[in-house]
Copies of this chain bind each other. A is one copy, B any other.
């Protein structure tokens, strides 16, 4: 059900937001449209994806993950955690990175344990695709776009943003490479959250 090409990537796209057909097409550079159609059909038949017909307020068909499809997220997160060292340290010349993928890696890295008392909202300023990351004690959610009321703003290279939010860079290193703005206490809270995750996931290989 999920072993063939593109299927898990479609799930990844749908994990961040419900998508129209063209959203998926844009989010999966290189996919052929016949393959996208067939993969959606398969995933729908297998009960991982729902097709949502447009009602009065809506304009277009929307695909969304079912509960069963969402159960794949821990597996995707584990894969992303495994891959993030390579994404950060050795991006090939023609590798691309998108803000939404940074968001997904951040969800993977921050998801599991508790994350602090008060909610924290990050604005990750990617040139092409800014994302907002909300960290609450219960969960971490990312969404595309910009907000006015972020606690911390992170701008700079997409790769360094990924390094920070995936735990590959120490906060100290990342703050030299990125521009991290916010009140002293909010930045400290972010640092604390990230360092908690780092010690619990990485085996301190440096």
Contacts and interface: CB of A to CB of B under 8 A. Distances in A.
A78 interface: yes
Contact of A74 (B5, B71, B78): B78
A75 B71 contact: no
Identical copies of this chain, number: 2
A72 interface: yes
A3 interface: yes
A79 B5 CA distance: 16
Interface in A157-190: none
A78 B77 CA distance: 9
Interface string A46-80: 00000000000000000000000001101101110
Interface of A: 2-5, 71-72, 74-75, 77-79, 81-82
